[in-house]
Amino acid sequence: MNFIKKAVIKSIVNYKLTLGLFLCAVVVLFGVVGPAFYDIEKQEVGAGMPMLEPSSEYPLGTDAQGRDVLAWVIAGTPATLRIGLLAGILGVVIGAVVAFVAGFYGGWVDTILRILTDVLITVPGILILVIAASMLEVVTIELMAIIIASLAWMGPARVIRSQVLVLREKLFVDVSRLSGEPDWKIVFLEVAPNLMPFLLASFVSAVAGALLASIGLEVLGLGPAHLATLGQIIFWVDFYNALLRGAWWWWGPPILVVIILFVGLFLASVALDEIANPRLKTRV
């Protein structure tokens, strides 16, 4: 766990990682602690009069259906985060397993998995998502995450595979092979820990990619319809032309939360990439 110690030290020094994690933490706290301070029941349709400007009773006003915007955004944040996290974890785990199997065993296993990855990577993800999501009748958070993850593992698989290929040739792998360790032990106890920085970096970018895909689907009206998510709020913003109506209190907050989250994730992933891959260091 040397890497974690290193990352902690570096995060204090590395302002990008600190700022990135801070921004992500702000959004997470907003969604997790928010309900304790504010009644999110008010996100229901008809909780107030429609199109109210911000006031002491409705700090961020209401939308065209009388939903309290603040309650709505608080309720939507954790749902969006859950989809992104779940899909990101699934994507990296599937990608890592494929990469370890392909990279470590090589031969025809590698060939088949590589062709499969290459073929699937050409398929425009959002379109398959559109087909799948538009044909399911009820979309839950978990289902949404699975749909997104099924097309999010190829990126991590490619990156990790190339690293496994490098590590496979290292002396310590030969040593443990000669000392009779089973393959799975070599993969998980010798190779995987050395790839922690890479796994973490591809996890962060997988989460960002999954969030982008999920918000995109929701903006198209394909998300979980019965649940508040940030993308769904933006769908209604587009549906009711909130921009034209000048309802800044309605379209502003969800966009702001999404932007904070994405900038945070972006900074964190740039910083983690630099730690995992020192050659990328910003030097001129």
Partner 1 sequence: MKLSYAIKRIGVFFLIIWLAVTLNFGLPRMMPGDPIEQRLALITAFDEYAATNIAEIGASYRKQYGLDKSLVNQYFTYWADLFRGDMGVSMSDFPQPVAQKISAAMPWTIGLITVATILAFAIGSLMGALLAWKRAVKYVLPVMPIFMVLSAIPYFLLGLLLIFSFALVYTIFPLGGGIKIGMAPSWEWEAVVSIFKHGMLPALSIILSSAGMWGLGMRALMVTNQGEDFMHLAEAKGLPESRIFFVYALRNAMLPQITAVAISLGFVLSGSVLVEVIFNYPGVGFLLKQAISGKDYWVIQGIVFILIISVGVTLLVVDLCLPLLDPRINYQKK
Among 119, 147, 149, smallest CA distance to 135 is for 147
Minimal distance in Å, beta carbon 181 to partner 1?
28
Minimal distance in Å, beta carbon 221 to partner 1?
6
- Closer to partner 1 by Cβ: residue 43 or 205: 205
Q: Which amino acid is at 44?
A: E
Minimal distance in Å, beta carbon 260 to partner 1?
10
- Closer to partner 1 by Cβ: residue 193 or 246: 246
Q: How far is CA 124 from CA 110, 121, 151, 184, 243, in A?
A: 23, 7, 9, 34, 30
Among 209, 171, 168, 196, smallest CA distance to 96 is for 196
Minimal distance in Å, beta carbon 216 to partner 1?
6
- Closer to partner 1 by Cβ: residue 22 or 184: 22
- Closer to partner 1 by Cβ: residue 46 or 246: 246
Minimal distance in Å, beta carbon 56 to partner 1?
26
- Closer to partner 1 by Cβ: residue 5 or 283: 283
- Closer to partner 1 by Cβ: residue 29 or 243: 243
Note whether 75 and 227 are within 8 A (CB).
Answer: no
Minimal distance in Å, beta carbon 236 to partner 1?
13
Q: Which residues bind partner 1 (CB under 8 A)?
A: 115, 118-119, 122-124, 126-128, 130-132, 134-137, 212, 215-216, 219-222, 234, 237-238, 243-244, 246, 248, 251, 255, 258-259, 262-263, 265-267, 270, 280, 283-284
Q: How far is CA 79 from CA 72, 88, 119, 126, 150, in A?
A: 11, 14, 32, 20, 19
Note whether 29 and 5 are within 8 A (CB).
Answer: no
Write the DSSP assignment of 6-41 as a string of letters: HHHHHHHH-HHHHHHHHHHHHHHHHHHHHHHHS-GG
